[in-house]
Structures are given as structure tokens and as C-alpha cells.
Structure 1
């Protein structure tokens, strides 16, 4: 079940001081940040990183959102996670995260 991976990803990121946005803020592009939710694939969590939208196809903090996505991936990878980047979700950076093999084997 991917909810266990969501919990694992959130706690792993929280240990590094990385806190997700509320879903409303992320979906409304009111702040640069990220959310973690269940993915369509078993044992995966979907991470979406957004940049703040200011109108007329302009996104503030575009570079910061990409740096944040790389930082999130780095933290999760250091803890044994695997990834699959998801294309076609611009202007968001979206990827599925899979738990370390030893955690997936616990199920």
C-alpha cells in the first residue's frame, strides 16, 4: 500500500526539516513548496514540487522549485529510495518515490 510509503517519505523529509505545503496551497500555486500523496503504483508515493504562480504564465521561484526537487530526491535517495520522474506535469516537478528494498520487503 502506498500510504506506508507516503508516511515513510514524509517522516524521512521531516527529519531534515523539510515540511510539505498544504494541498490547497500546492494546487493553487500560492507558494513554492511540495506535497507528498499516494501514487497510482503500489508501494509508491507521488511528490509534487510547485513554483508560485504570479499570472500571465509567470512562475516565481522557478529555479528554487527545481533546487527543492533535487534536494528532496537527494534526501530520499540517501535513505535508500528509488525514483521515477513523471513527465507532462509542468509547471510542477513530479516524481514517484519507492521505498528502500528492505522496507518494501517488510510487506
Structure 2
């Protein structure tokens, strides 16, 4: 679940990074920023005009590649696994023996604090 959340976070950040790149904000690309700032003044900190569209295109391609490779759309998140205390246990089937374990967890005083 943690890996899935990290992947979804990364994919959500890519369009933001692209917009920042288009606005000449390079904070998400520290090595690029270092190269651009080196031996230049603040006004001459922009990417060469031919390079910016290529980098933006690369970010789009990267997002599409990740979406195709990991199939992030169909992930079902079982929130009761992360935090069993506020979960409605009635939504879990009585045939699922994990329900017994969940009840045990909820009644342990040390875990409820």
C-alpha cells in the first residue's frame, strides 16, 4: 500500500513539475538548476528555448509510461488495514476471519491510545 501511495503521489506531481519547468522554476530539478545558475546572473537563468519543450515532452512520456506499466487506476485501498479503529467492521464479511483479528486489535487498550 505504501508503494502504491508513493507511486500515485509521484504521478500527481509530474504535471506540477512540468508547469514549474514552463515557468522557469527549477527547484524540482536541482542539478539542472545548478547548471543554469552556474556563472550566470539571475536574469539569464532560463533554459534554452529548444530544450524546454523537450523536457516537458519527456515528463509527459514519463507519466504515460508509469501509468501503462503500473496500472494505477484499479487499486483498491482497504483503509481498515491502515487504521483498524475507526473502520466499520460491519462492512467486512462475517466469513472473513480477519474480522476476528480486527476485533482483537480494537479491544487492546494499549493500541487504542
TM-score (norm: length of structure 1): 0.31
Instruction: Write 1 or 2 for the structure with the bigger share of strand.
Output: 1
Instruction: Write 1 or 2 for the structure with the bigger share of helix.
Output: 2
TM-score (norm: length of structure 2): 0.29
For the pair shown, which has the larger CA radius of gyration, 1 or 2? 2
